[in-house]
Structure 1
Amino acid sequence: MWGAPTLEPPVWSEPVSPPGRMVPEPWLLTSSRYDNDTPEVWDTHAHHEHELIWSGGGVMTVEAEGQLWMVPPVLGIWIPAGVPHRVRAESGSVSFATCFAPERTDIGWDGIVGIALTSVLRELLLYNMNEEMPADLRLRLQRLAVDLLRPVQAASLDIRMPADARLRGIAERIVADPADDRTTQEWALRLGFSARTLTRGFLRETGLSLTQWRILVRIRTALIEIAAGRPVTVVAGRLGYANPSTFIDLFRQVTGHTPAVYFRTFSTLDGTELGLEGQRRR
């Protein structure tokens, strides 16, 4: 009887995350899902692991290194380990955070980048959240997911936020309501200084005039709307453009492509229309 085995699982065999870490050995990654019934803000923080922030629908923004990234369903934002960042998810959105163990994840880039959320990569990350899976199968799945990570041009995603408190107040109002069509003069009167001073301030803080910066915000918002399946004409109207061709011209100036061509470049990565099918399934 002294040698009778215990029925309790041995503690040493259980995967345990190191202090401050999300991914236990021997795994490469782990994901969390957040259903945001109300607006949710994760204040500035940093992780010991790399993080991929991606959307299952709705409006999400990521702020890091003085820039704001909007997260459409076809793209994720890669935040390297140790980089402070802030995340906001609007009411009704579904957000995901996938953490990657740096010492077990072989990537070929540095810094914050956009990652193409192909339908294959998205489904692998979702399937990995299934707890019922043999360990060897999970490892193979995770290795394949890491192999499928592909950075894309982040220039079409990031928006530099002004640091000056007064200018930032304007910027946050425009981000919250991109269709707001108040002129530079009207914003300046609200703050109590001249339109020239406001323009110089935005140029100094963001590299753009207020008008140019607002156009950028509108185009970034359009990425989310169009990826969610809304027609370009509807999106143009929601953003304050009575003439859709004006919106399409601005979209081309910012991204280098018309909306149709822009999203086609992502669909050809794996032969499917990204974001739309996956969102309908959920």
Structure 2
Amino acid sequence: MTAEGSAVRLWGAPTLERDEWTASVETDEPKVEERWLLTTGTFPTPEPMEWATTAHREHELLWSTTGNVTVEAAGHLWMVPPSLGIWLPAGTPHRVRASAGAVTYATFLSPELVAVDWAGVVGIPMIRLLRELLLHNQNEEMSTEARLRLQRVGVDLIRPVRTVSLDIPLPKTPELLTIAERIIADPADDRTTEEWARMIGLSGRTLMRWFQRDTGVSLTQWRILVRVRSALIDIAAGKPVVAVSRRLGYANPSTFIDLFRQVTGHTPAAYFRSVNGVAESGL
């Protein structure tokens, strides 16, 4: 599994622009035996865990069934809720963090035997059939022919999410990055721009100007994006929209739903229907 990111994504759609990533990390030993298409490893984390930056010879599909998992790769920070996997092309440097109680899976796929029609790091809908096939392949005895048939079906089910990607640029200035990290850690923090500015010895006007320069959006817009991203993770885990909106500091759920629609183009329910619709269309 597992590099310093410059943006945050939740669901990622394929892009025409190639991600630039300059980190140099040597790939490790092969994980898929020569005749097979794929293999899956299981990584339970009773305590919080961070794996060192690494790269693999194989393509990697990272997914989880419980807990919070993040992947830093290709200049972005990706969140991995239970309904989403993250596809990492062979040789991509990446770092993975998992919360206490998370169960993370790493499915490695042979780049020589598994050809895909997309490039870069993308989100993969982890529909139930795909999860069950990958686990069945890992846990059950079967003939070579049966295993290869199973693996081919699994590969056919791996298709990128094609909904809008939630991409949150991180500031490059260290002082601003400190503020950004605190907001990401607690999206409901309601400190004003002036209060954040005093924390790093700036005026509110200077903070706003620097933040716009570094990220391309205002601090207010950026905080909304972070809250929507945090909400998507909670809703994907099954938490009610009303409870999620209150956790993020919105007394009126309709205010949160309006902001969610402004960011994603959908209400929360419609957004997840669009993801599930793409997933089921691959069956």
* RMSD of aligned Cα (Å): 2.1
Code of the aligned partner of 1:70: M
Code of the aligned partner of 1:54: W
User: 3-state DSSP class of the match of 2:139?
Assistant: coil
Q: How far 1:131 sits from its partner (Å)?
A: 4.5
Structure 2 stretches lacking a partner, 5+ long? 1-26
Q: Do the aligned partners of residues 189 and 150 (structure 1) sit closer, same or farther apart at CA in structure 2, a change above 3 Å counting?
A: same
Give 1:98's aligned residue: 107
Give 2:245's aligned residue: 236
Which structure's CA Rg is the greater one? 1
Q: Do the aligned partners of residues 237 and 66 (structure 1) sit closer, same or farther apart at CA in structure 2, a change above 3 Å counting?
A: same
Give 2:158's aligned residue: 149
Structure 1 residues 39-54: aligned runs within 5 Å: 39-54=48-63
Code of the aligned partner of 2:244: V
Give 1:258's aligned residue: 267
Give 2:35's aligned residue: 26
Code of the aligned partner of 2:196: W
CA contact (8 A) 1:185 1:194 kept: yes
Code of the aligned partner of 2:176: L
Give 1:3's aligned residue: none
CA contact (8 A) 1:218 1:239 kept: yes
Give 2:231's aligned residue: 222
How far apart in 2 are the matches of 1:71 and 1:25? 29
Relative contact order: is structure 1 or structure 2 higher (C-alpha 8 Å, sep ≥ 6)? 2
How far apart in 2 are the matches of 1:125 and 1:40? 23
CA contact (8 A) 1:70 1:158 kept: no
Name the TM-score, length of structure 1 as normaliser: 0.83
Structure 1 residues 89-168: aligned runs within 5 Å: 89-153=98-162, 155-168=164-177
Q: How far 1:236 sits from its partner (Å)?
A: 0.6
Structure 1 stretches lacking a partner, 5+ long? 1-17, 273-282
How far apart in 1 are the matches of 2:28 and 2:161? 32
User: 3-state DSSP class of the match of 2:39?
Assistant: strand
Q: Do the aligned partners of residues 154 and 80 (structure 1) sit closer, same or farther apart at CA in structure 2, a change above 3 Å counting?
A: farther
Code of the aligned partner of 1:199: M
User: 3-state DSSP class of the match of 1:69?
Assistant: strand
Q: How far 1:192 sits from its partner (Å)?
A: 0.9
Query: What is the aligned length?
Result: 255
